[in-house]
Structure 1
Amino acid sequence: MSEFKCHHCRESLQGKKYVQKDNFNYCVTCFDAHCANICVECNKPIGADSKEVCYKERFWHNTCFKCSKCLQPLATETFVVWDNKILCNNCVSQQAFPKCKGCLKDIKQGEQSVEYKGTIWHKDCFVCSNCKEVIGTKTFFPKDEGFYCVACYDILFTKYCVKCNKPITSGGVSYQDQPWHSECFVCVNCSKELSEQRFTVMDDKIFCVDCYKNFIAKKCAGCKNPITGFGKGSNVVTHETNSWHDYCFNCKACSVNLANKHFVFHQEQIYCPDCAKKLA
């Protein structure tokens, strides 16, 4: 059986008063010194023997939680946060009411409102920029200067994958101005994902480099290897039904490269004009 000790000083807590926080046990002294929350009003620790008020991850001694205007204690009273200040109901009623962004009228105490990035609306004035239906407190999407309900945002701005026709909610791939899910942009032969990978297209079908080389690419009449169009040999020489890497298009006799030069095609072989003259 594990010993019942303070998590910080390791002193025994048997028969002593202790405080539990984050699943650890502390003696009162260690809790006050190292674990207690700090009161935002007096900036002192809220000890184990003190009562605490918490609001939006901020903490006060219950005796420090007061109206910032009239100093009325509010630990057991209703209150309002106005401009990041704690106010009692009487004091907040004396404050200037904020203006609704939609109708430009006052938003009075008790009226339902919506706030977004420092701007405030009556709940019924917060409407979709497209269909004008009330958004209120429902989910919405900001776009440029407007706000859109889910349905309108989906219609106006959501991209749909050209392969599965489902919405692309994040990321994705764009090819020839068409959007794809990353998991949908794959080689038609081996299904390898091609996002950020080299690929090629043949007859509107997308292939990874390996599948294109092995199954689709023409073979060089010189070296017999695939002509992929990637890297070395991206330039191709074609004559009748044959194709060569440009660096393989050499005279059969003297091996001089004939890419972009005059040549003679004789009995399925390539010759420079000088070597061709020597043929029997």
Structure 2
Amino acid sequence: MDVRPQQYNLNIVESSLFIRRQSKPRIITKHDDEWESINLALGTMFCSRCGEGFDPEDKIVNSNGELWHPDCFVCAQCFRRFPDGTFYEFDGRKYCEHDFHVLFAPCCAKCGEFIIGRVIKAMNANWHPRCFRCQMCEKELADLGFIKNQGRSLCHDCNAKVKAEGLGKYMCQKCHGVIDDKPLRFRGEVYHPYHFNCSACGVELNSDAREVKSRPGYAANDMNQLYCLRCHDKMGIPICGACRRPIEERVVTALGKHWHVEHFVCAKCEKPFLGHRHYEKKGLAYCETHYHQLFGNLCFICNQVITGDVVTALNKAWCQHHFACALCDQRLNPKSKFYEFDTKPACKKCYEKLPVELRKRLKKMHDQAAKRTMSSPVPNP
């Protein structure tokens, strides 16, 4: 199934729900100047809610020319008076702020809060402008538009990056185009090489260009510089045998090559030596542990490199002070009489304390293992 990203223009509207927000309506009493004129017309005035008239002693609520009894001027949903006289009007009915939000105001798909004012309608949801962001880089999309890519809202730059990754290619950080050929790496990013020129001779660069940190005599600022291969070779800067990049700081020289400190590592575990001793074998460097593991002896008990005399028994190697009875921990020497018990040595005294039936089974297993070893074909040298 071919799923392709789609480009959308944002639907940005002012919420039509917020029709009118009233400040405190005016309450007219007999102490007001216009009370006398209103009092004369009371016979023709009626409450906008209950339809009844007003008595001379009644307080009257005047809201945009409409008159109400104070007890009638209430929220159409909860029938309570408006806090501080503030209300919202929708379809000719008045609501307190809480009920208006619950009934009509859209909710933001990200923060869950009610949206008053500018509404972003996208991805089948409503959003505050500040909440509708690229799902990769968190850039606000309200004024930029977006690309819908596999259910995600992405800015144009991030969509191009995803597209490039899907093709197994890099995206140039300067022009944001896909890099079809080998990229140029500079200051931790990748670029088309033709965007740059050599800092020394000015020639247009290719992917073989070298990045060099600013040093006295080579650059006039603190920024890294790019050089073509020819100009770089004239500078005499050593090249790392691992990453093939210039080495401007500490240099490790080993195996006939130069290395960044962090790139001179054990060929087995790939941990940097960081100044510790290394062992060389067939053109490769190893840490002490893995050199002896691959080419030397590790003690069966402590798993450490055996630096002194090696005791070989039961097809294993042992430090001399670790070669002991597995049952009583009494130290053994290569000339001591011992038996195999659970792949470990057991002294004669402890072995003879084992049940007779167990010793018979152990002997039988040992004899069968010996026969299998003798019957196995000997590999050609």
Instruction: Give your verdict on TM over 0.5.
Output: no
**TM-score normalised per structure 1:** 0.44
**TM-score normalised per structure 2:** 0.33
Higher helix proportion (structure 1 or 2): 2
